[in-house]
Amino acid sequence: MAAPAKLAGFAALLVAVFALASFAGAAIDPAPRSSGEADVEHGGEPAGHGAPQPVRGLAVADGGLRLALDTPGLPRGARTTLRLRILDDDGGAVREFDVEHERRMHLIVVRRDLTGFQHLHPRLGADGTWSVPVRLDEPGSYRVLADFSHDGTARTLGADLRVSGSAALQPLPAPAPVAEAGGGLRVALDAPALRSGREADLRFAVTRGGTPVTPQPYLGARGHLVALREGDLAFLHVHPVSDDGAAFAVTFPSAGRYRLFLQVRVDGRVRTAPFTVEVPR
Ligand SMILES: [Cu+2]
């Protein structure tokens, strides 16, 4: 009589153990399953040369390197320090990084609903630990994207970071051709004829009070663009296509919505203009 109940209990326990293992696996699995478009072979051709990978940042480990956050979570609303390391196959911290866009590491922190975007530049300690002050005001699950180049290969590894509390997740704002960047700055986006799988030129124009503003150099250019896909926060390869830094080439790998974060420096301060774009089939 008790057998089925026992079996059911055992099954429930198994499920619980499996769920726990899966959770731990998601957090520390050194070899996560690549999915679809992220699963691009590096082969002998380093990314960043030749055909760029269409998306990056979906995997916590790739190409023999792993992103290890010091802690899986951070406290809410407090100035704290985010620490991470890039580990090699032997578990040792990588200390040699190439300079890209004037920095050896670009760190994007953004909540899963694409709010709370931050672009940070951590400092590398002698032991291979990167650290940067950060403050996360809203609870929820965040994505940490570490963008760097090692041995001539550009990589973006991603890991989840949680801030405890009940998160009021926001819907993605509707697509709009103009965004406020703060400080009275408006940025207009000209994105003609977007098609999935096709490279698009995105052109930005910054104005204040209707007058064109020329941004100051920031990270070796007049602007910096980060493009993330709604749904999985895939990190798109973006490169500037004009000397004035007002245009970027992006290939949207699939139909759907993306969030663009254009960053410009004006009056010595970096401002961020966020845009939603919808890419048709
Ligand atoms: Cu950066």
Is 8 or 140 the better-scoring residue by pLDDT?
140
Nearest CA among 259, 256, 254 for reference residue 276: 259
Angle ∠(261,267,269) on CA atoms, nearest 5: 45
Q: What pLDDT score does 51 carry?
A: 56
- Determine, yes or no, domain membership for 132: yes
- Determine, yes or no, domain membership for 172: no
How far apart are the CA of 199 and the centre of ligand 1, in A?
23
How far apart are the CA of 121 and the centre of ligand 1, in A?
6
Give the domain range for residue 148.
Answer: 52-163
- Determine, yes or no, domain membership for 251: yes
Residue type, 156: T
How far apart are the CA of 223 and the centre of ligand 1, in A?
11
pLDDT range class, residue 105, cuts 50, 70, 90: very high
Q: What pLDDT score does 39 carry?
A: 36
- Determine, yes or no, domain membership for 183: yes
How far apart are the CA of 21 and the centre of ligand 1, in A?
34
Partners of 205 in beta bridges: 188
CA-CA distances (angstroms) from residue 193 to 202, 258, 280, 281?
A: 10, 15, 9, 11
How far apart are the CA of 46 and the centre of ligand 1, in A?
20
- Determine, yes or no, domain membership for 122: yes
* 116 vs 135: CA distance, rounded Å: 10
Are 269 and 188 part of one and the same domain? Answer: yes
* 245 vs 101: CA distance, rounded Å: 13
How far apart are the CA of 106 and the centre of ligand 1, in A?
4
Are 271 and 207 part of one and the same domain? Answer: yes
How far apart are the CA of 132 and the centre of ligand 1, in A?
12
- Determine, yes or no, domain membership for 32: no
How far apart are the CA of 91 and the centre of ligand 1, in A?
25
pLDDT range class, residue 27, cuts 50, 70, 90: very low
pTM of the model: 0.80
Asked if 101 contacts 237 with a C-beta cutoff of 8 angstroms, the reply is no
Q: Report the number of distinct structural domains present in the chain.
A: 2
Q: Mean pLDDT over all residues of the chain?
A: 85
Residue 35 pLDDT > 90: no
Are 237 and 152 part of one and the same domain? Answer: no
Q: What pLDDT score does 143 carry?
A: 98
Residue 9 pLDDT > 80: no
- Residue 130 tokens read as 């990167």
- Determine, yes or no, domain membership for 39: no
For ligand 1, an ion, list residues with CB under 5 A: 106
How far apart are the CA of 42 and the centre of ligand 1, in A?
23
Are 220 and 246 part of one and the same domain? Answer: yes
